[in-house]
Chain A
Amino acid sequence: MIFRLLLSILLSLSTGLLLVCLLWPARTQFNSSWLIKLSVAVGLGLGLSSEIHFLWLWKPTRSLGGLVLTDLALLGSLAGALFYLKIRFPKRREQKPTRYVRAEPIQRVPTPWALAAAFWVALVPAIYAFLSSFYNHPHGQWDAWMAWNLRARFFFRAGDHWRDAFSGLFLGANPEYPVLLPSTVARCWQYAGQEVELAPVLVAALFTFASVALTYSALCVLRSKGQGLLAGLLLVATPFFVQHGTSQYADVPLGFFFLASIVLLCLRDRIRPQAGGLLLLAGMAAGFAAWTKNEGLLFVVALTLVTAAVLVAKDGTRAYASHQLVLTVGLLVVLPIVLYFKLYLAPSDPMLAWERSTLHKVIEWERYWQILKAFGRESLRFGNWPLEVTPLLAFYALLLGLSLEQSKKRSTIISVGTLGLTLAGYFCVYLITPDELARYLHSTLQRLVLQLWPSAVFLFFLLVRTPEEALSERSESPSGQGANDGWHKKRPLLDLRPPIPR
């Protein structure tokens, strides 16, 4: 039983890994890129498997053999395509040099060992939290059994009546939400032959730790190892991120897909213009976000709008069109099924039920103020940290300064803009919600911020200068003060050190 469950997960991960390897641009063999590929593969593999399982449910005669054969056929096709490419273009994949360009190639100062040790030490409580959740709360927290695992049970138990999972009778259990998570769990159960409680716990753990691994490995490549370690440490030490990861809700998987989409866009920016594969993968990740939760659809809209605004303004319509075309191909792997689900299966979304009172809410200025106050409060207190971490991060950014080179990159602007627009979308949802606003803010805002948290951490450490940069500047001068021109240019916004002798 456990073996068959692990086999189902292994098949998903292998499919994801082969897909990522197939679309990964050549000549970017990097030590850390294996971890990036593996982390991205976790999400895309599980996403693809959930899609296949969902399509399999439609078959009039369902058998486990059919599901396994379909999974194996996809895996074989991807392996065949990769093998063909290797044979057909041997040099393309063997060339060593990388085309990744670090912002500032500083590796003279070794990564502080204490930082690496802290990262590994911080992983232990997170792993223990998952073990504890498996033993003490195998069915997850409230929404897990009320909505996500409930629908997995419908898919697994109901036979031809699996569509009952979307009955409008499930008031309050969000039957209108997309089904990446329930379909993934139900697929694991199909393989195992019974409802194994380990399945949803394992899926939750994979998404949580893949988010940490992706943040760490992407920043190792894009910035420095120290920066990657610091970001990974901050993420894995965020109590709410880990606690919520164990709850088997869909917010951490959704956050993973936001992060994967943004990371792939940023990686692609470094190796332009021949990295259509990364753009395609970014589109797929955004599509899977929409297949996870309704907020994912908002993210897709935000990404499309911000990409259009930035690229048309900076590169012109032609460049934007070719960029958007590849991104859309990636989105099309997932979006048709999401749209079909929304149009023909899911009951109508209560959030979209426009009434006269909805319009009235838009002009109630007190609501704006109430939401703004809640957003402000949450941005300060987010994460269940022992102390407020946002002011600390702001101070850190002021101390080290921002990397101007990073902030000018198109991918950075698109990513920050997309997150900002998604947040603005959340604001609008609160504005028109049919629920009682204070109660709704109280019960959901922390989870919405959580969805954006891994991406926000990644972008923060992408933009802030690295500890290596700061340390190398100090080591360049015997007095501990750098004295070259570059140093002058790169001085932090708030510098507490004595003035530089001129």
Chain B
Amino acid sequence: MLALVSLTSSASLLRDTEPIVRGKVGKDEITLYLMRFEALRRVLPAHGTVGYETDSEDLQRDRRDVRRFYLAQYALAPVILVAGLDQDLVIGNYQDPGSNCRICRSTSFVLVADLGNGLMLFRKAAR
């Protein structure tokens, strides 16, 4: 009886497992998302702390924003990302940069690089 239940469970595991599709290899959501940051990695310092701004003002409010933040951190390691504008360099990572890029309207920062797909790098303006 126990063995039968176990086998049923194994069958359900097989049913729930995502199928392997040849053409999709290396094109999973996270790999594709991480590829966005390759160009940015090359222009960032080798280590240090940089600021981070995204669509919502409070990062913690939206779980999707939290996920994007940690994925950006994973992509850009060993640079440390800190939410907010307190650093000399700030990364902007937006879904809708036209409406949500608050730093674009600030005079305290200048755009260093627009890497496309809502990904930007800003530097604190010299006083």
Interface positions of A (Cβ within 8 A of B): 114-115, 118, 121-122, 124-126, 128-129, 131-132, 135-139, 142, 145-146, 149-150, 153-154, 157-159, 161-162, 164-165, 167, 169-170, 173, 230, 233-234, 236-239, 242-243, 385-387, 389, 392-393, 396
**What residue in chain A is nearest B4 (Cβ atoms)?**
A118
In the complex, the answer to whether B30 meets A145 with C-beta atoms within 8 Å is yes
Across the interface, which residues of A come within 8 angstroms of B21, CB to CB?
135
Given contacts A233-B2, A239-B16, 13 further A-B contacts (CB under 8 A): A114-B3, A121-B7, A131-B20, A135-B24, A136-B24, A138-B28, A146-B74, A154-B78, A157-B77, A169-B80, A239-B13, A243-B16, A386-B5
In the assembled complex, the Cα of A131 lies from the Cα of B25 at a distance in Å of 11
Q: Contacts A125-B17, A161-B47, A239-B12 given: A173-B78 contact, CB under 8 Å?
A: no
In the complex, the answer to whether A135 meets B20 with C-beta atoms within 8 Å is yes
In the assembled complex, the Cα of A131 lies from the Cα of B20 at a distance in Å of 8
Across the interface, which residues of B come within 8 angstroms of A139, CB to CB?
28, 30-31, 34, 74
In the assembled complex, the Cα of A133 lies from the Cα of B47 at a distance in Å of 31
Across the interface, which residues of A come within 8 angstroms of B49, CB to CB?
169
Per a CB cutoff under 8 Å, which of A137, A157, A167, A230 touches B3? A230
The 7 nearest A-B residue pairs measured at CB: A158-B78, A237-B6, A125-B14, A153-B77, A122-B10, A161-B47, A237-B9
In the complex, the answer to whether A132 meets B20 with C-beta atoms within 8 Å is yes
In the assembled complex, the Cα of A165 lies from the Cα of B80 at a distance in Å of 9
Across the interface, which residues of B come within 8 angstroms of A149, CB to CB?
74
Q: Which of B65-73, B89-97, B106-114 contacts A (4 or more CB under 8 A)?
A: B65-73
Most interface-central of A173, A233, A393 (chain B CB within 10 A): A233
In the complex, the answer to whether A238 meets B9 with C-beta atoms within 8 Å is yes
User: Which residues in chain B, 42-56, are within 8 Å of chain A measured between CB atoms?
Assistant: 46-47, 49
A to B CB contacts below 8 Å, 17 in the list: A115-B3, A129-B13, A132-B18, A135-B25, A139-B34, A142-B67, A145-B70, A146-B73, A159-B46, A162-B78, A233-B2, A239-B12, A239-B13, A242-B13, A385-B9, A392-B5, A393-B2
In the complex, the answer to whether B74 meets A164 with C-beta atoms within 8 Å is no
Per a CB cutoff under 8 Å, which of A233, A243, A392 touches B1? A392
Mask, B25-41, CB within 8 Å of A = 1, is: 11010110010000000
Q: Contacts A132-B18, A137-B28, A389-B5 given: A153-B13 contact, CB under 8 Å?
A: no
For residue B117, CB closer than 8 A to chain A, the reply is no
**What residue in chain B is nearest A197 (Cβ atoms)?**
B31
In the complex, the answer to whether B25 meets A145 with C-beta atoms within 8 Å is no
Per a CB cutoff under 8 Å, which of B6, B26, B70 touches A122? B6
Query: Dominant SS at the B interface?
Result: helix
In the assembled complex, the Cα of A282 lies from the Cα of B46 at a distance in Å of 42
Min CB distance A79 to B, Å, is: 37
Mask, B72-104, CB within 8 Å of A = 1, is: 011001101010000000000000000000000
In the assembled complex, the Cα of A424 lies from the Cα of B33 at a distance in Å of 41
Query: Dominant SS at the A interface?
Result: helix
In the assembled complex, the Cα of A45 lies from the Cα of B26 at a distance in Å of 30
In the complex, the answer to whether A146 meets B70 with C-beta atoms within 8 Å is yes
In the complex, the answer to whether B12 meets A386 with C-beta atoms within 8 Å is yes
In the complex, the answer to whether B74 meets A136 with C-beta atoms within 8 Å is no
In the assembled complex, the Cα of A359 lies from the Cα of B98 at a distance in Å of 49
In the complex, the answer to whether B9 meets A132 with C-beta atoms within 8 Å is no
Q: Contacts A118-B7, A145-B71 given: A161-B2 contact, CB under 8 Å?
A: no
Min CB distance A160 to B, Å, is: 9
Across the interface, which residues of A come within 8 angstroms of B10, CB to CB?
121-122, 124-126, 236-237
In the complex, the answer to whether A136 meets B9 with C-beta atoms within 8 Å is no
In the assembled complex, the Cα of A128 lies from the Cα of B10 at a distance in Å of 11
In the assembled complex, the Cα of A22 lies from the Cα of B73 at a distance in Å of 44
In the complex, the answer to whether A164 meets B80 with C-beta atoms within 8 Å is yes
In the assembled complex, the Cα of A238 lies from the Cα of B2 at a distance in Å of 12
Min CB distance B71 to A, Å, is: 7
In the assembled complex, the Cα of A408 lies from the Cα of B108 at a distance in Å of 73
In the assembled complex, the Cα of A386 lies from the Cα of B11 at a distance in Å of 10
Most interface-central of B9, B46, B73 (chain A CB within 10 A): B9
In the assembled complex, the Cα of A137 lies from the Cα of B32 at a distance in Å of 11
Min CB distance A284 to B, Å, is: 31
Across the interface, which residues of B come within 8 angstroms of A126, CB to CB?
10, 13
